[in-house]
Amino acid sequence: MNDEPYLVKLALRLAAGLEKLPPSSLEKHRTYILAQQQADGGFSGREGDSDLYYTGFAVRSLGILGGVENQQCIELSSYLKQFHIEKLSTIDLLSWLYCALIIQASGGEDLLTGASDNWNTQISQNLERLRTPDGGYAKSEQGALGSTYHTFLVVLIYQLIGLEIPDSNDLIQFLYDRQRDDGGFVEISPMKRSGTNPTAAAVATLLILNAMDDELKDDVRDFLNQVKSSEGGFQANTRIPFADGLSTFTGLLTAQDLGLDSLVDQKQLMQFMTEWLEFPTGGFRGASWDEQADVEYTFYGLGVLALLNA
């Protein structure tokens, strides 16, 4: 398995891409993101109070936009301290761990200082309760089938806590079994039609585990060709007739990771992002019909701009 955490490598790659853009074109997005920070130090979505999920995307965005400043680290630390990491869901745990990593890397405190000596082993034990007979990981202990997306999240967590994934060969086979005849991958085994996002999650996980080969790469190329949209981005699947920010980011990232850059018309995609998804006042919407920005889709939007300039 690759040593440097996937999320760290991705952040460095995106930050390098954004550095090539005029600072004036990015400051509005930083301002937008900071405006979503709540009094408790966390960040909210489109409505409601602070949420770990959206806080994670806000911190990831700030990180690739130049970093998290000292006062923001203090406020974020205060927010994160209210959580008991052993009780968090997979996705919230990943958000917490990544935020804690960024805070420490930005000169803030180490939020794991008071944790027990075997805190990462305890997390591993909790994660393994989500392991399913098919070799993957489910969303919850009640899940009977492995989820491609949640399996990807678990792999990312194992990287952040510095432990090897148990029975990685079973996990690789689980992912192979999620591939369909269209060349892509599905979220759970009963599904027949592949999706852009489960395909991206499967490819990223297989790359982390050094289990991608040329035949799989060709299959994924065929699938990505099917979900390219007329706007220049990527659709979530072949039945959805328009591109969205999430699928465009994951589709572009997958294409670049596999050396399939020729699939993308960079000029058309840049036009789609800046004319249809980017708000002039800061932030990105989810799709052309969307009327509101949020921190999650702003991360995807910034990610696409970064990848196009990497």
Contact yes or no for 123/93 (Cβ under 8 A):
yes
In a domain, 131, yes or no: yes
Average per-residue pLDDT for the chain? 96
Number of domains in the chain: 2
Greatest CA span in the chain, whole angstroms? 53
* Boundary of a domain, candidates 115, 147, 170: 115
In a domain, 10, yes or no: yes
Q: For residue 156, what pLDDT is reported?
A: 98
121 shares its domain with 106? no
147 shares its domain with 172? yes
Average pLDDT over residues 219-223: 98
In a domain, 126, yes or no: yes
124 shares its domain with 16? no
**pLDDT score of 2 more than 60:** no
Average pLDDT over residues 132-156: 97
Average pLDDT over residues 207-225: 97
pLDDT band at 310 (very low <50, low <70, confident <90, very high): confident
In a domain, 182, yes or no: yes
93 shares its domain with 156? no
Per-residue tokens: 26: 């990015």
Q: For residue 114, what pLDDT is reported?
A: 85
Q: For residue 162, what pLDDT is reported?
A: 96
1 shares its domain with 109? yes
150 shares its domain with 179? yes
105 shares its domain with 148? no
208 shares its domain with 126? yes
Average pLDDT over residues 98-121: 94
Please state, for a pLDDT cut of 70, what percent of the chain lies above it: 99
127 shares its domain with 174? yes
In whole angstroms, what is the distance from residue 269 CA to residue 308 CA? 9
In a domain, 183, yes or no: yes
CA angle 129, 134, 139 (to 5 degrees): 45
In whole angstroms, what is the distance from residue 100 CA to residue 103 CA? 5
Convert the pLDDT of each residue in 34-57 to its tens digit. Answer: 999 999 999 999 999 999 999 999
Of 158, 92, 97, the closest CA to residue 124 belongs to 158
* Boundary of a domain, candidates 225, 254, 274: 225
In whole angstroms, what is the distance from residue 192 CA to residue 182 CA? 9
In a domain, 252, yes or no: no
Average pLDDT over residues 105-109: 95
2 shares its domain with 109? yes
Q: Which residues of 19-45 are buried (b: 16+ CB within 10 A; e: fewer)?
A: eeeeeeebeebbebbbebbbeebbbbb
Q: For residue 207, what pLDDT is reported?
A: 98
β-bridge partners, 244? 287
**pLDDT score of 1 more than 60:** no
* Single-letter residue type at 155: V
4 shares its domain with 102? yes
Instruction: Please give the residue range of the domain that contains residue 76.
Output: 1-115
* Boundary of a domain, candidates 81, 115, 149: 115
DSSP 277: I
CATH code of the domain covering residue 197: 1.50.10.20
Average pLDDT over residues 226-241: 96
Distance of CA 289 to the CA centre of its chain: 23
6 shares its domain with 107? yes
In a domain, 260, yes or no: no
pLDDT band at 3 (very low <50, low <70, confident <90, very high): confident
In a domain, 55, yes or no: yes
